[in-house]
Structure 1
Amino acid sequence: MRRITRALVAGALTALSLPAMAQDPVIERLTEHLEVDGQSMPVKRIEPTPLAGFYEVRLETGERFYTDAQGDYFLVGDLYENAQGGLVNLTEQAQNTERAARIAAIPDDERVVFRGTDEPRARVTVFTDTTCPYCRRLHEEVPRLNAMGIEVDYLAFPRGGMNSPGARELQQVWCSDNPSEAMSTAKRDGALEGDTTCDNPVEAQYHLGMELGVQGTPAIVLPDGRLVPGYVPAERLAAMLGLNDQ
């Protein structure tokens, strides 16, 4: 809770976003008046939950928690449904849905795409850093994944931040005339030529990754929005996608 409180105070001057669905008077009141220690919260969105009288609050910082209708009590953690087939993590479901939508909105010309010659059967998105050993190991699996019908789309996530060597290399990749070739060269520890001053999405993708819960690389996002951290062998990734090796 201390971490959330710090984020709330730090973002106190962030403009509040009132979504179209906030016609519910409770949601509208919470959006306008939710406070911590007298400071307005940087609210991005508030939605009702299946738990009567409680609402999910999403902050501009990317964090989320639950509040009662008066904003007097907060719950930090995941909300589960005790369903007939077992516990269902409703918080995770909502995060996956949002993550999938945010990823789907990224145009192809802002991705570094590796696809086989045939029509892909599935597509995964990978937040990557050219200096990351396990990213390089995963990249070695890309031809195998393409042969299985899995397209691999890379997004940038310089794990050392925007002042790191990885950030510079990723900018060079996106500024290259042939980004896929430059990506492979960088992951073989080859020298890249070209500048970093073109209009590139590296910094925006880095911040997007943090908003979506990426904490390290590689971070694989499946089509349904599930986030899989770390290196995954091709056969296991194909199994996650429900594909058989044919």
Structure 2
Amino acid sequence: MKRPLFVLSLPALLTAALWTSGALAAPPAALNELEVNGQKMPVSQVLDTPMDGIYEVRLETGESFYTNESGSHFLVGDLYQNAEDGLVNLSEQSRNASRASRVAAIDESEQIVYRGVDEPKATIHVFTDTTCPYCRKLHEEVPRLNELGIQVNYLAFPRGGMQSEGARQLEQVWCADNTSEAMTAAKSGEVPSGATSCDNPVERQYHLGLELGVQGTPAIILPDGTMVPGYVPAERLAERLGIDG
């Protein structure tokens, strides 16, 4: 379940002007020290927006909102551009870019990778849980995805939290000598065996998933950072990625 926003406010739909060219002014440093009722907010980043005097504040929880220069007023909701072809969700574009950057920064040695024989045409990242039925269903599609030129990089997301059976199994999978074989076995219903005390990234990846807005599994991150929740057949994923079957 997604954690509630740190600050409660009336939802707001923002219609913005077109992005302007050139460098944007740096956000006020004071916004990194925002407080509510004397409690410092867990601000991770403050970004400029196309609207004069309005800034995007991202929290360590992965949630975000908008504020004025002094931090005296907050707006919760997505920022849209009123473009010639219709409304463009700038907030979602920003979230996509952040997701793409965050998963790209994860060392491949901390992921469980399934790739085909040929050079991949695209790589998707999938937050997964071995106890999740739809994760198992998606895993059955991995050979076909590889045939289509789609590399699958698994990240851990125990949907029941770090005290769940899923977390224990994922730690055992990541601690296995052959992680890809262990993942396939676990997804086939075999209970993983072996140590869970190795240095593994399961908890880090779980918290990353929360920050990126993952609420369930599987959660598929496309190369552009778009998040696709739930099971998607291989052919439809390939079509979404512009890959011919």
Deviations 1:167-208 (A, max 9, x none): 111111100000000000001101322110100000100000
Deviation of 1:22 after TM superposition, in Å, equals 11
Query: Structure 1 regions of 5+ residues with no counterpart?
Result: 7-20
Say which of 4, 7, 28 aligns to 2:6.
4
Instruction: Report the secondary structure of 1:94's partner residue.
Output: helix
Which residues in structure 2 correspond to 1:103-142 (within 5 Å)?
103-142=103-142
TM-score (norm 1): 0.89
Deviations 1:145-172 (A, max 9, x none): 0000000010000011111111111111
Deviation of 1:113 after TM superposition, in Å, equals 0.5
2:129–2:135: 8 Å Cα contact kept in structure 1? yes
Could you say which residue in structure 2 is the equivalent of 1:52? 52
Query: Structure 2 regions of 5+ residues with no counterpart?
Result: 9-22
> Would the alpha carbon gap of residues 161 and 155 (structure 1) be closer, same or farther in structure 2, given more than 3 Å must change?
same
Which residues in structure 2 correspond to 1:1-246 (within 5 Å)?
3-5=5-7, 24=26, 27-32=28-33, 34-245=34-245
Deviation of 1:48 after TM superposition, in Å, equals 1.4
Q: What CA distance in whole angstroms lies between the structure 1 residues aligned with 2:35 and 2:191?
A: 51
* Structure with greater helix percent: 1
Deviation of 1:129 after TM superposition, in Å, equals 0.3
Q: What CA distance in whole angstroms lies between the structure 2 residues aligned with 1:122 and 1:23?
A: 35
Deviation of 1:45 after TM superposition, in Å, equals 1.4
Which has the higher relative contact order, 1 or 2, with Cα contacts under 8 A spaced 6 or more apart? Answer: 2
> Would the alpha carbon gap of residues 22 and 37 (structure 1) be closer, same or farther in structure 2, given more than 3 Å must change?
farther
Deviation of 1:36 after TM superposition, in Å, equals 1.5
Instruction: Report the secondary structure of 2:65's partner residue.
Output: strand
% identity of equivalent residues: 64
Instruction: Report the secondary structure of 1:161's partner residue.
Output: coil
* C-alpha RMSD of the superposition: 1.7
Deviation of 1:23 after TM superposition, in Å, equals 8.3
2:44–2:60: 8 Å Cα contact kept in structure 1? yes
2:43–2:59: 8 Å Cα contact kept in structure 1? yes
Runs of at least 4 residues of structure 1 off by over 4 A?
none
